[in-house]
Amino acid sequence: VTVTTDIADRLATAVEAAHVLVGDAIGEDYTHDEALTVAGRRPAAVVRPGAAAEVAAVLRIANEAGVPVTARGSATGLSGACVPVEGGIVVSFERMNRVLEIDTENHVAVVEPGVTLQQLDEITAQHDLVYPVFPGEYSASIGGNVATNAGGMRAVKYGVTRHQVLGLEAVLASGETIRTGGKFVKATTGYDLTQLIIGSEGTLALVTEATLKLYPRLRHQATVLAPFPSLDPITHAIPRIVDSGIGPLILEYIDMMTMSATTAFVGLDLGIPETIREQALAYLVVMMENRHEDRLEEDVAQLADQLAELGAMDVYVLPAAAAGQLIDAREKSFWVAKANNADDIFDIVVPRAAIPEFMTKVTELASENASWIAGCGHAGDGNVHLSIFQSDPDVRAHVSKEMFRIGMALGGAISGEHGIGEAKKPYYLALEDPVKVDLMRRIKGAFDPNGILNPGTIFDSGDPA
Ligand SMILES: Cc1cc2nc3c(=O)[nH]c(=O)nc-3n(C[C@H](O)[C@H](O)[C@H](O)COP(=O)(O)OP(=O)(O)OC[C@H]3O[C@@H](n4cnc5c(N)ncnc54)[C@H](O)[C@@H]3O)c2cc1C
C-alpha cells in the first residue's frame, strides 16, 4: 500500500501542510542512514510532526490505510533501520527537538525525541549535570538512541541508554498514546514497557518523549594511552584495571592499523617514538574522571604503575587537547573505515574476557577466506568494532555469519549497540533461537497488529505475528 493523493491530503490535516513532503520535495537525506550495506529507498511522503498529538494523528491515518511508517531521528544509524519502505511514510522527528525540563531536584531531563546528544550536553553542562551516554556521533537524536539502545565508550562506567531511560511517552501504531515509567528508578508495576520499547528499532511504537537520568558532571578528567606488543595483554589488563577501583570512564583498545589510520585522518601526532610505534600492535586508552584534581592525579599514577606491570611498552598521560583529539579520532573510526572502502562494519559483543579468543578465531577465519579485518573496541564492555575488507559479497556473507557464530558461541551477541536493522537481519534470523524470534514476532503483533511500523527491520516482512 502506498500514499495516495487522498492519504497525502489527510496527512496535511494531521500536521501542517508545509510539513508534509512528497515527490521531489523529499531530499535525498531522507532515503538512507549511514549503514554501508543498505541502499537508500524513496518514501512516498515525509511528515515532520511538531507534537505527540500530530504523531498520533499520522499513525491513525497510516494504520487505517495500512501504509508502512519509518521513524527517523538524525539517520546516523549503522544498521539500515531508518531506511524507508518504498512508497511508505517517514516520520521525521527533527521538529520535536525541545528539552522540556531539566529537573535539578530529581536529576532528570525530559526531552522530545529530536533533541540531539550535542544539544542535551550543552544544556546539562549549564547545570553542572551530564547525560552520560556518548555514542560516537553527537548529532544522533535521543529518539534514535532509545530505539537502538545506543551505547558508546562510557558504557563501562555508566551503562547504555537502557540504563538511563526512566520513562517514555510513546504512540502505538493505532494512534493510542502510552506513558511508561517516570521520574523514579524503582518500579515493579507490571511488565516493563519502557525497556521493551528501548532497542526495538522503531518496530513497536514511536517515542515522543523520554525521561532521562542525569548525573553530576565531574570536572576533572585524565586520559592515559598505553601501547602494547599485542591485544592479548590488553584484554588481560582490563579486569585488573576494573578491580583496582579507579572506575574508568573509558577503556578502549585500538589496533595498530586503526590507530595509524584514525590519527592520520584527523592529523593527530601523539608524540609516540617511532621505535614504539613500530612494535606496538595495539593500544589501550583509559580515561578517568573525578571531582578532585589531586585524587585524579593519584589514580593516574596508580594506573601508570599498574599498566607497566601488566606489560605496557610505555605509558603516556595525554595533555587535555591531545586526549580530546584522540577520543574524537576514535569516534571517527567509522568514517575512516568508510574512507578506506571497508565493505562492512560489525559491533559484535562478547564477554570482555573472551575478546582474545574471539579475535584469534576471527583473525584465522579472515585469513582462511582471504579477507582482511581491522578494528578497535570498547574493551571494557566486550564490544568489538571490526571493519571487513572483502569485496566478494558471498565470501563476505560467509565470513560475517561465521564471525557472528563465533561470537555467539563465546556467549556474545550479534550487535552490542548498532542494532539488527536490515543490515544484520539475515544473520540474526539464521543464528538466533527461533523460539525467541517467534516470541518477538508475537510481541510485535500485539503492539502493531497491521505490521505498519518499520516492516523489514529485525524481521522479514509479512505477517509479523
Ligand atoms: C561516526 C559514527 C559513530 C557512531 N558511534 C556509535 C557508538 O559509539 N555507539 C552507538 O551505540 N552507536 C553509534 N553510532 C550509531 C548511531 O549514532 C546510533 O545508532 C544512534 O542511536 C542513532 O540515532 P539517530 O537519531 O541517528 O537514529 P536513526 O538513524 O534516525 O534511527 C535509528 C533507529 O531508531 C528509530 N527511531 C528514530 N527515532 C525514533 C523515535 N522517535 N521513535 C521510535 N523509533 C525511532 C529509527 O526508525 C531506526 O530504527 C555511530 C554512528 C556514526 C555515524
Write out pLDDT tens, residues 88-108. Answer: 999 999 999 999 999 999 999
Q: Does ligand 1 have an atom closer than 6 angstroms to the CB of 456?
A: no
CA separation for the pair 201, 421 (Å, rounded) = 7
Q: Does ligand 1 have an atom closer than 6 angstroms to the CB of 152?
A: yes
**Per-residue pLDDT averaged across 176-185, rounded?**
97
Q: Does ligand 1 have an atom closer than 6 angstroms to the CB of 197?
A: no
Least confident residue range of 163-167, 295-299, 336-340: 336-340
Fill in the amino acid letter for 420: I
207 pairs with which residues across the strands? Answer: 170
**Per-residue pLDDT averaged across 290-302, rounded?**
96
Residue with cell 534514535: 144
CA separation for the pair 445, 354 (Å, rounded) = 36
Ligand 1 atom having least distance to the Cα of 116 = 25
Name the residue with higher pLDDT: 4 or 186. 186
Least confident residue range of 98-112, 154-168, 358-372, 374-388: 374-388
Buried b (16+ CB within 10 A) or exposed e, 148-158: bbbbbbbbbbb
What was the pLDDT predicted at 374?
87
Distance 272 CA to ligand 1 centre (A): 34
Write out pLDDT tens, residues 206-238. Answer: 999 999 999 999 999 999 999 999 988 998 899
Ligand 1 atom having least distance to the Cα of 81 = 49
Cell digits for 302? 596508580
- With cut-offs at 50, 70 and 90, classify the pLDDT of residue 463: very low
What was the pLDDT predicted at 462?
54
**Per-residue pLDDT averaged across 436-453, rounded?**
96
Q: Does ligand 1 have an atom closer than 6 angstroms to the CB of 145?
A: yes
Cell digits for 160? 547504555
355-368 vs 393-409: helix crossing angle, rounded to 10: 160
What was the pLDDT predicted at 464?
42
Write out pLDDT tens, residues 298-323. Answer: 999 999 999 999 999 999 999 999 99
Residue 71 has pLDDT above 80, yes or no: yes
**Are residues 166 and 181 in contact, defined by beta-carbon separation less than 8 angstroms?**
yes
Residue 3 has pLDDT above 90, yes or no: no
CA separation for the pair 314, 445 (Å, rounded) = 56
Ligand 1 atom having least distance to the Cα of 76 = 26
Write out pLDDT tens, residues 401-440. Answer: 999 999 999 999 999 999 999 999 999 999 999 999 999 9
pLDDT over 70, % of the chain: 99
Ligand 1 atom having least distance to the Cα of 332 = 1
Rounded to the nearest integer, the mean pLDDT of the chain is 95
Residue 4 has pLDDT above 90, yes or no: no
What was the pLDDT predicted at 5?
85
